[in-house]
Amino acid sequence: MFIRPFAQRDQARLIELTIETFRPFFEGSFRPLVGDAIFTLQHGNWRDHYRKQVAELHNPHRHKYVAVAEIDGAIAGYVGWSVDPARRHGTIAILAIATEHRRDHAGTVLCRHAFDEMKSLGAEMVEIGTGGDTFHAPARALYESLGCIQVPAAVYFRQL
């Protein structure tokens, strides 16, 4: 596995990978959980949201970075993070791994890479968020294996 910095030529593939990665959550988990009305209001444009988010992830002038994992010359996944130097705080904004590489430890390698980069930029802590549903269970297991501490939270939706 080869970890490298983001290059502009990666953007289209990273958007595609992000949509592939999170489609099962939005369409198979979140939509059935909250129903079509709330889904449409809350995340009806989730694909467009990711197109915009991924396009804005890498901006070193704003302390935002992306690293890409390649396996056999193909993108296996990526991680996007930011650092708030004044607070010495890093945040993983997104981690997406191609389905066929989810057991290759790409997520672990990418997170550790991001942690090391954040530390070199002055961060003393990192924040990573994920869902509490079944879809996100592998992410929770990964973050816990990396020594992250889960902070319980609850989010509620109700149609008016």
The answer to whether residues 93 and 80 touch, using CB atoms and an 8 Å cutoff, is: yes
Which pLDDT does position 100 carry in this prediction? 94
State how far the Cα of 131 lies from the Cα of 127, in Å rounded to an integer.
14
With a cut of 70, list the residues of the chain below it in pLDDT.
none
Predicted confidence at residue 53, as pLDDT, reads 97
The whole-number pLDDT of residue 103 equals: 87
Instruction: Tell me which fold the domain 2-145 belongs to.
Output: Aminopeptidase (3.40.630)
Q: What is the pLDDT of residues 40-74, one digit of tens each?
A: 999 999 999 999 999 999 999 999 999 999 999 99
| Beta strand residue intervals within 12-156, DSSP E | 64-71, 74-84, 89-97, 125-128
For 137-146, write each residue's pLDDT tens digit.
999 999 999 9
Q: Provide the pLDDT for residue 58.
A: 97
Task: Output the pTM of the full model.
Answer: 0.94
Nearest by Cα to 67 from 88, 15, 75: 75
> Which SS3 state, helix, strand or coil, does residue 7 take?
coil
| Residue carrying the six token digits 């999170």 | 22
